[in-house]
Structures are given as structure tokens and as C-alpha cells.
Amino acid sequence: MVCLAGGFCYSWRMQKQNLVFLHGFPFNGSSWDAETQHFSREHNVLAPDLRGHRGGPDSPGPWFVEHFVEDLKSLLDQKGYAKMVLCGLSMGGYVALHFAQKYPERLAGLILCDTRADPDSNEAKDKRFATLQKIQADGLAAFAEDFSRSVLAESSLQAKPDLQKKVAAMITGNKQSSVAMVLGTLASRRDSTPYLAAIRVPTLVLVGDQDKITPVEVNQVLAKAIPGARLEVIPGAGHLSNLEQPELFQKKVEEFLRANF
């Protein structure tokens, strides 16, 4: 409610948006359940399972990020979403940046969370190969236990032990062969850095202050390269900032939407 001089009051509501949330590797759309419930009150919300994750597309490989982009475009066409605010976390951010470069006319806004624009270094590619070998040797459950701990802040592991179990369960909900395929997809992704300066929609960059996978300084570089982008650091969160600090995450997104739409 907004009240003006003279006692006249009126209600103000932000413009209804199509919001699309893209999850990270190797999780699924349920990682956005809190956001789906919160934002569906005023917006149209989608949080699909991406290719190779739970119920997402699972055609024969190899897969490239371009496949994920085309999956998203097909879904948007089916839903009749001419434009959207696209929010991607980690791998979802990689897909969002590729989508922004190929289909800029479909974007109303962009939210990038705990992600990066540059490709894997040789060291990172070697690490992905080592992860692939570990999965093949020890199975998905062992990988899920280790990975679920690495993506969460130490404070989250201590204060929210059930969250680590939830994250691990999302990982083991995938097919081992699909997880292996997506590892190759991530290692082969292109460099999105040259395209950042061409982004012309309102952009928010969010990162957990304890993110060890894509640290604050990486997200600072990302935000600086996008014209007008705003960076927000979420305290008490690691790489999965929306799961670790959902209320604060939602508050930052809501402030972004109200300021720009």
C-alpha cells in the first residue's frame, strides 16, 4: 500500500513475470521447490529437470550445452513464454549464459547464481575426469556423499545436516550414465566471457560468501563484465545459496524483480 499527501492510498503490484529456474549439476528441479512455492503467488514459474537429470531429456549422447539451450527453448515455446526472467545456478548459469547469447530476444531479465562465464581450465578438466573415474569405480552413492559435502558451506553442514542428505538424495536420483555424460558436457563448454558485454537486460549476480566452487571473486568478475549488473553476496551460504539461505535468497530476487519490473 502506497499513501500520498492528502490521504489518498493505492495498492502497488509488480508486473507479473515468467520466471524460469535452472538447477545445478547434478541435481534437479526440486532444488527450486522453495522458490517455486514463494514466487508462484505473483508470477508464472518453471523449474524444469535439465537434460540427464531425473526426468529431463535423456537422448543418446554426446551432449553439449547447446542441447540444454535447445531443450529450454522448446519448453518455453510449449508453455507460450515469449519472454522470461531466467535464473540459473552453477550449471544452470552456464546454460542461461549460452541462452542469453543465442536467444537474447527471449530474455526480460537474468539472474546468475554461484556460477561463472569462463570455461574449465586444464586442471578443472582433469578433475572432472578423475570424478568420472571415481563414479565408475565406486558408484554414484560414494560420489553423492563427497560432492554434497563439497558444495555446502561448513556452517550449513553443521547447522542443517538434513540438507546434506537432501542434496545427496538428489544426486543418487539420477542415472549414473547420465551423470557421467554431463561431466563431459561441462568440461567441453565454451567461454561465455566475450558475450557478457552484449547482455542488455537487468541482471543480478548472487553468490554465497562461503562458495568454494565458484568463489565470490569469480562472481565479482562476472558481474563487472555485464553492463549494469548488480552483485549480492549471501552470508552463511556455500555453492547452493538458494538451498542454504532460502529466505535471504528469495528476498534478493524479489528486490531485483520489484526494482526492474
**Full-model pTM:** 0.93
**What do you get for the CA distance between the two ends of the chain, in Å?**
17
Q: Which three cell numbers stand for residue 176?
A: 549414473
Q: Distance between CA atoms of 208 and 226, rounded to whole angstroms?
A: 19
Q: Is position 104 within any domain?
A: yes
Q: Are 207 and 113 in contact (CB under 8 A)?
A: yes
Q: Collapsing DSSP states into helix, strand and coil, what is residue 24? A: coil
Identify whether 242 is part of a domain: yes
Is residue 218 situated within a structural domain? yes
Mark out the alpha helices in 64-188 (DSSP H runs): 65-79, 91-102, 122-138, 140-150, 154-159, 161-172, 176-187
Q: Which domain holds residue 203?
A: 13-260
pLDDT (0 to 100) of residue 1: 47
Asked whether residue 162 is domain-assigned, the answer is: yes
C-alpha closest to that of 250 among 26, 6, 63, 45: 45
Neighbours of 68 (CB within 10 A): 26
User: Phi and psi of 24, rounded to 5°?
Assistant: -90, 175
Count the helix, strand and coil residues of the chain and give each as a percent rounded to the nearest 5: 50, 15, 35
pLDDT of residue 214: 98
How many structural domains compose the chain? 1
Which cell numbers in the block locate residue 60?
Answer: 543418446
For the domain that residue 81 is a member of, what is the CATH number?
A: 3.40.50.1820
Tell me the three cell numbers of residue 168: 545427496
Are the CB atoms for 91 and 61 separated by under 8 Å? no
User: Is residue 124 one of the residues assigned to a domain?
Assistant: yes
Residue 253, domain member (yes or no):
yes
Ranges of the chain whose pLDDT falls below 70: 1-14
Please tell me the predicted confidence (pLDDT) of residue 60.
84
Q: How far apart are CA 204 and CA 186, in angstroms?
A: 23
Cell numbers at residue 163, please? 540438507
Residue 202, pLDDT score: 98
| Each residue's pLDDT tens digit, 88-120 | 999 999 999 999 999 999 999 999 999 999 999
Percent of the chain with pLDDT over 90: 92
Amino acid at 172: T
